[in-house]
Amino acid sequence: MSAPSQHLQLTEAERIEIRLAALNDCAPDTAINQFHRCCGSSKWSKTMAGRRPFSTLDALQKCGDLIWQSCAHQDWLEAFAAHPRIGEKSAVRWSSQEQSGMNGLSVVLQNAFAKANNIYEAKFGYRFIVCATGKTAVEMLANLEGRIGNDPAIEILNAAEQQRLITHLRLIGLFTE
């Protein structure tokens, strides 16, 4: 008679370590694709893939921040364009999860988002970017409407910071999904 099988239960830290090792060891194109899921900038994704191996998730995020800071505005704009407009449905699972505070929007709020998105895009020339995780629709609309009044030189920095925050969450998602 054989002993009952015992399933090995990995801790979250162990799962992250295994997935990080797999990312470190995979083909460059595979790594680029994984990083591109986190940030829509081609330059950022390619540079991240070239900086492997990473010893920890924290080291990976710090490297990502340094690369993001070195990216040009055109790289930032490429990343912004990879996001759906705030308030619009997305087929991308991460975007849908991040914007879960937008579920069940009333027609009034849908119209308010459409109007504010159009004003923002006309003024700045790119999509409004906000780290939507944990925010309600009302909070995001207030953020959008408030940022419309910003100077373009300030707003590009605000948008880039929001992209950095989104990228951090998505990097974590690579290892915990």
CA–CA separation, 69 and 66 (whole Å): 5
Q: Is the pLDDT of residue 6 over 60?
A: no
pLDDT at residue 44 tops 60: yes
Residue 177: per-residue pLDDT: 76
Q: How far is CA 13 from CA 23, 35, 174, 176, in A?
A: 15, 20, 13, 10
Selection from 81, 98, 80, 76 nearest residue 89 by Cα: 98
Quote the pLDDT of residue 88.
63
Q: Give pLDDT tens digits for 109-146.
A: 888 989 999 999 999 999 999 998 888 888 989 999 99
87 and 110 Cβ atoms separated by less than 8 Å: yes
CATH superfamily, with its number, for domain 12-176: Oxo-4-hydroxy-4-carboxy-5-ureidoimidazoline decarboxylase (1.10.3330.10)
CA–CA gap between residue 44 and residue 36 (Å, rounded) = 8
Give the residue, 174 or 157, on which the prediction is more confident.
157
Sign of CA dihedral 128, 124, 157, 168: positive
What is the average pLDDT across 41-52?
A: 98
Burial of 109 (0-12, 13-18, 19+ CB in 10 A): middle
Which of 5, 163, 24 has the alpha carbon at shortest distance from 95? Answer: 163
Residues serving a catalytic function are 83
The pTM score is 0.86
Q: What is the DSSP string of 52-69?
A: ---SSHHHHHHHHHHHHH
pLDDT at 95: 46
